[in-house]
A and B are shown apart, each in its own frame.
Chain A
Amino acid sequence: MECPDGLHYTKDHEWGLEEDGTLTVGITDYAQGELGDVVYVELPEVGTMLKAGEPFGVVESVKSVSDLYSPCSGEVLEINPDLESEPETVNSSPYDRGWMIKVAVSDPKELEKLLSAEKYLEFVNSLK
């Protein structure tokens, strides 16, 4: 299971990459593995205001339908347009081409509450 350093992680298995006040959000390698083949990703519209910890979209796999939870509050700046036609990208490249949304972080303090790669790995291992 991949779990790159330098990303923020949530206990709901989202990751966030912070660059100049913008957080790129996706789901972790562990999450995509647990979900199995992803067949549909429902994302919010650009401009939607998100709240930390609240659902921003839905990921549907052959096994289940799960909510996606926002790691931070802020406005959605961009969504990954490729996921509509190629949802499998979430499986093949969870940390790169499978990114989901970019959010303008409204409260940088929220990021401090998120998990480091090390802490997230610990959390995942506790689930097994």
Chain B
Amino acid sequence: MLYLLLYWEFFKIGLFAIGGGLATIPFLYQMSVNFPTWITSADVADMIAISQSTPGPMGINMATYTGFKTIGIFGGLTATIGLVTPSVIIIVIIAKFLTHFDKQWYVKNSFYGLRPTVLALICFAVSNIFVLSLYNGSSIRITESVIFIIVFFLYRKLKKIHPVVWIVIGAILGIVLKLPT
């Protein structure tokens, strides 16, 4: 029964959280009120911190963590599957629709306007991480900015190198240069 309830609660979050991982946060706070034995608001705060420093989509990390805290490993699995079920169903329907209608005038021209819109949305979404990394609240972080510029040009030049190498280089530089949070 607990599994079903867990699945259902995360199914609902998956259905209503529009706009990605951050959108799940208010739902999780609500959950800490409705189901205080599952998670507490302190757990949610911890989870946000952990999610930002572990790989994977934030929403998935949150679901796994909450499910695990509630009923262990299979709880994590149940919550995660609950969270992604609505997405998979909805996206499959849209993808089906698109394959039939992508030549239609209104679909084609919707995308014409949507593409620059999404580009702006991406810029907006990533501006947070830029500010966080390159600005400390009063001035520009010099070391980080220099690393940013060098990595940016090397990354464009050396296309053969796998992105994970840059992640590792970033981690090493962070530790060696003792970069502040």
Judge: A and B partners, yes or no: no
B residues contacting A by CB (< 8 A) are none
A residues contacting B by CB (< 8 A) are none
